[in-house]
Each structure stands twice: as C-alpha cells, then as structure tokens.
Amino acid sequence: AQTVTQSQPEMSVQEAETVTLSCTYDTSESDYYLFWYKQPPSRQMILVIRQEAYKQQNATENRFSVNFQKAAKSFSLKISDSQLGDAAMYFCALEGTYKYIFGTGTRLKVLA
C-alpha cells in the first residue's frame, strides 16, 4: 500500500525564521511525483512545490525548497524567511499510477 506520513500535526515559526516540515512516504512504484500543497484558512488549496522522483536535484521555488531523499523516502519542505502569509495547513502528496495519496497535514503558525 502507498502511504504518506506527516508526523508534525502543528508547528510554529517566528517571522523571518526558517522552518522545515517533514513528510515520509512509501511506494513500490519507481516513477512517481511528490507535491506540497498549502491551504490557507478558509481559502482554496494551492500548489507550493513539486518534485519528480527520477530527478535527483531538489526543487526550489523562491523561499520554498525541498529536501528529497529518495532512498529514505523522505520529502521535507523548507520555508525560508517565513512570512505571516505562510500560515496555513500544508499537505504532502504522492501521485502514482491510479494513486493520489495525501498526508494528514501540518498546521503552520507564524508568530509576529
């Protein structure tokens, strides 16, 4: 069975600091895709960043980057220079053939 585990239900970060959200997954497929989505309070879910499993280079999008460790099946999200607008639920997701698996989410609080 394919699974996605987010072990941190809630995290806090001081504004302008850096925070890392963890995600581990399990899949038997060799070709798959990993995503981080953000769900702000009462707003629609949007993509933060994505990674193709066959690419070793870690994806980066402005202040957001991932640490993809394929052998360890780990896909963590690092947010640098945290801003108040980063406060949201963050979901890690795995997409494989006929499979779309989301984690349980991490609620990120940003402290002013």
Chain residues binding other proteins by CB under 8 A are: 6, 9, 33, 35, 37, 43-47, 50, 52, 91, 93, 95-98, 100-105
Pick 86 or 95: Cβ nearer other proteins = 95
Report the alpha-carbon angle 23-86-32, nearest 5: 30
Task: State the nearest-atom distance from the C-beta of 64 to other proteins, in Å.
Answer: 14
Task: State the nearest-atom distance from the C-beta of 100 to other proteins, in Å.
Answer: 5
User: Nearest to residue 109, comparing CAs of 9, 31, 5, 37?
Assistant: 9
Pick 15 or 40: Cβ nearer other proteins = 40
Token pair recorded at residue 19: 């925070």
Task: State the nearest-atom distance from the C-beta of 8 to other proteins, in Å.
Answer: 13
Task: State the nearest-atom distance from the C-beta of 92 to other proteins, in Å.
Answer: 9
Give me the phi and psi of 62, to 5 degrees please: 55, -115
What is the rounded distance in angstroms from the CA atom of residue 7 to the CA atom of residue 99? 21
Pick 64 or 102: Cβ nearer other proteins = 102
Pairing mode of beta strands 99-102, 88-96: antiparallel
What is the rounded distance in angstroms from the CA atom of residue 75 to the CA atom of residue 14? 23
Pick 57 or 112: Cβ nearer other proteins = 57
